Structure 1
Amino acid sequence: MKNFKSQHFFFFVMLFFFNLSFGQNDNFYTKIQEKKIRGEQYWDSFKLYEEALENAEGSPYANPDFLPGRLYKGKESVSNIMFLRYNGMSDEIEVKPTEGTTQIQTIIKDPEIFAKVGDEMYMYVESENPDENGGYFKIVKDLQVYDLVKKVKITFKEAQFAKTSYDKNTPAQFITETTYFLTDDKGTFYELPNSKAKILKVMAKKKSEVKAFMQKGNIDITKENDLSRLVTYFNSLL
């Protein structure tokens, strides 16, 4: 990964209260913040209610299940196994509640900390400008010059009821928007548009080679595996 800025979960909750540290760096603390709200109040903050959540199509989560994961600083693990999931609506990594509670806990956002959720690795990027890229990104491919990362943004669209007999009801739904980027070791992001012609502009320094690779390999840039192959090839030319 670029240089961007077997105990159970109960132990990590204790970590929050006693400020324990893991890993070899004594100055680094693995942190968990506890939101002082219960699960149903959490969704109220988004003006979402239980009935809407149950009937909506889709999910606010990349994966609704909590998966085993760890926290890393660079390539060094700084936590034991914990159960995590990424919330694409709030842009937070949630920690599985302890037995007997519904209080939501999240990992403190820190650009030095990577979170592995199942087989997926997430990094946090700070941005002072709201118009610039910031928040959690999934690392799709870790490469020598440009990494391939993606930003998942999930929004909620309320149900629409038919106004006439010719119209149809539209159920409430969570809408997922995915954007891919190249990023270098300086933390610069280059958006990869959903167009071959525009991607060639991003990869202009090797335009002819990349164009030939697209044609020969029948690359479909709307498919993540194909896009990953393309970015891997582009890196090999640099």
Structure 2
Amino acid sequence: MLKKTILGMLLFAFVGVNAQRANNFMSDGGMVIFTKEKEPDTFTGSPYYEKDFIVGVINDDKGRSLDVLMRYNALEDVVVIKPLENKNEEFMLPKLKTITYNFGDYTYFIDNLKTNNGNIEAYFAEFYKGKKSLFLGQPTVEVTPPQKAKTGYDKDKPADIDVEMVYYLSVDGEMLKETRLKEKDLEDFFKSREMKKYFDDNKIKTEKDVVKMLKYYDTLNG
């Protein structure tokens, strides 16, 4: 369970940033935290998309940045930081459009985007943004409610939490559309012979495979 909720960017004081820099980060408005759902008292699985805390970079729209341990809680829809590696204190960050969280292979940002599933306001993970394409993910959570034992021989089952990434792709300025990371699904986004050959010659199973494919598409004329 998260120990504290902080509003504003006071968290920077916990990681050795001077007071002036902390005050600069606090200059943004809209510091209200919206949560999807609270963690059950007991559960199996994990509400986090990342298996553990990752050293990432927090950036704001004024060019300031900070390296810190962090991961995304998909159940409560917040980024959580761990200011000190050897302590168990965790802090939820405010949901601001002016702040992004770079995890290396992807960057979390919050926005309201138009997709084939309707308008979605949430944290998205940006895997790639090129000249002709945009590849995003949205961590989604499924909670199985706790179940009481049906007989004296059974045991109560706690709630179960499962987090998976739902992927969206936009090509040539088209609307973001949900997709699976499979060649037969991704082929439908492209019409050129070069891309048909690419799919014939390459397997796509991971986010990195998709990024590699989109970078290749950016090199094509037209």
TM-score by length of structure 1 reads 0.64
Aligned to 1:39: none
Say if 1:178 and 1:80 are closer, same or farther in 2 by CA, change over 3 A: closer
String of CA shifts for 1:3-43, please: whole Å, max 9, x gaps.
Answer: xxxx763456968xx97115xxxxx83679586xxxxxx99
Counterpart code for 1:48: P
Alignment check: 8 A CA contact 1:12 1:82 kept:
no
Deviation for aligned residue 1:215: 1.3
Alignment check: 8 A CA contact 2:82 2:90 kept:
no
Aligned to 2:27: 29
Aligned to 2:74: 88
Identity %: 20
SS of 2:100's partner is strand
Structure in which a larger fraction of residues adopt helix = 1
Aligned to 2:195: 210
Alignment check: 8 A CA contact 1:19 1:29 kept:
no
String of CA shifts for 1:179-227, please: whole Å, max 9, x gaps.
Answer: 22224797952332455444222223x2x3222211112x13x432322
Match of 1:230 among 196, 199, 213: 213
Deviation for aligned residue 1:153: 0.8
Deviation for aligned residue 1:150: 1.3
Say if 1:71 and 1:119 are closer, same or farther in 2 by CA, change over 3 A: same
Deviation for aligned residue 1:234: 2.4
SS of 1:9's partner is helix
Unaligned runs of 5+ in 2: 1-11
Aligned to 1:9: 14
Alignment check: 8 A CA contact 1:143 1:232 kept:
yes
Unaligned runs of 5+ in 1: 1-6, 23-27, 36-41
Alignment check: 8 A CA contact 1:67 1:118 kept:
no
Q: Compute the RMSD of aligned alpha carbons.
A: 4.4
Distance in 2, Cα, partners of 1:233 & 1:151: 24
Aligned to 2:125: 138
Distance in 2, Cα, partners of 1:143 & 1:154: 28
Deviation for aligned residue 1:72: 2.2
Say if 1:59 and 1:100 are closer, same or farther in 2 by CA, change over 3 A: closer
Distance in 2, Cα, partners of 1:123 & 1:164: 47
Aligned to 2:23: 20
Counterpart code for 1:175: D
Q: Within 5 Å, which residues of 2 pair with 1:38-117?
A: 46=38, 48-49=40-41, 52-53=42-43, 56=44, 58-73=45-60, 77-96=63-82, 104-110=91-97, 112-117=98-103
TM-score by length of structure 2 reads 0.67
Aligned to 2:4: none
Distance in 2, Cα, partners of 1:193 & 1:155: 18
Q: Within 5 Å, which residues of 2 pair with 1:193-204?
A: 193=180, 196-204=183-191
Counterpart code for 2:46: S
Alignment check: 8 A CA contact 1:96 1:105 kept:
no
Aligned to 1:157: 144
SS of 2:118's partner is coil
Structure in which a larger fraction of residues adopt strand = 2
Moved more, 61-70 or 134-143: 61-70
Aligned to 1:38: none
Alignment check: 8 A CA contact 1:20 1:30 kept:
no
